């Protein structure tokens, strides 16, 4: 399957700070999604973004498919942004997940 690497593995932020999470993948993809797993374990879909740029409130994402990476931007972070952020990719029916970035936002 496609190899997915996420960085950094851990991120500690002060409330109000901005941050960038990165996802590198080893092959061309036609499906790339970002998820947030909250401290209660729920997985929420943030973006479906195999290419281009999207924004949703304080979150935005950019995927450069030709260079095989995607970036997730968190602006003006809040404590509710804490959790694990996963990138997942596919070029068939099998979505492969990275190991995630654990984000802790301190008040």
Partner 1 sequence: NAGVTQTPKFQVLKTGQSMTLQCAQDMNHEYMSWYRQDPGMGLRLIHYSVGAGITDQGEVPNGYNVSRSTTEDFPLRLLSAAPSQTSVYFCASSYTTGANSPLHFGNGTRLTVT
- Could you list the residues that contact partner 1 (CB under 8 A)? 1, 4, 30-31, 33, 35, 41-45, 48, 50, 86, 88, 90, 93-100
Task: Return the number of other C-beta atoms located less than 10 Å from residue 101's C-beta.
Answer: 21
The C-alpha R_g of the chain, in whole angstroms, comes to 13
Of the pair 10, 15, the CB lying nearest partner 1 is at 10
Q: How far is the CB of 71 from partner 1 (least distance, A)?
A: 18
Q: How far is the CB of 107 from partner 1 (least distance, A)?
A: 26
The CB-side HSE value for 21 (13 A sphere, CA atoms) comes to: 32
Of the pair 15, 27, the CB lying nearest partner 1 is at 27
Of the pair 79, 97, the CB lying nearest partner 1 is at 97
Residue 12 CA to residue 102 CA, distance in Å, equals 8
Residue 37 CA to residue 98 CA, distance in Å, equals 13
3-state secondary structure of 38: coil
Q: How far is the CB of 15 from partner 1 (least distance, A)?
A: 27
């Amino acid at each position: 399957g496609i190899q997915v690497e996420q960085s950094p593995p851990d991120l500690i932020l002060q409330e109000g700070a901005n941050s960038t999470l990165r996802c590198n993948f080893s092959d061309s993809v036609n499906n790339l999604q970002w998820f947030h797993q909250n401290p209660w374990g729920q997985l929420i879909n943030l973006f479906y973004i195999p290419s281009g740029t999207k924004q949703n409130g304080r979150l935005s994402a950019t995927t450069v498919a030709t260079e095989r990476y995607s970036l997730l931007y968190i602006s003006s972070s809040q404590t509710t942004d804490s959790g694990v952020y996963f990138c997942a990719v596919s070029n068939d029916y099998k979505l492969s997940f990275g190991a995630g970035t654990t984000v802790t936002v301190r008040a």
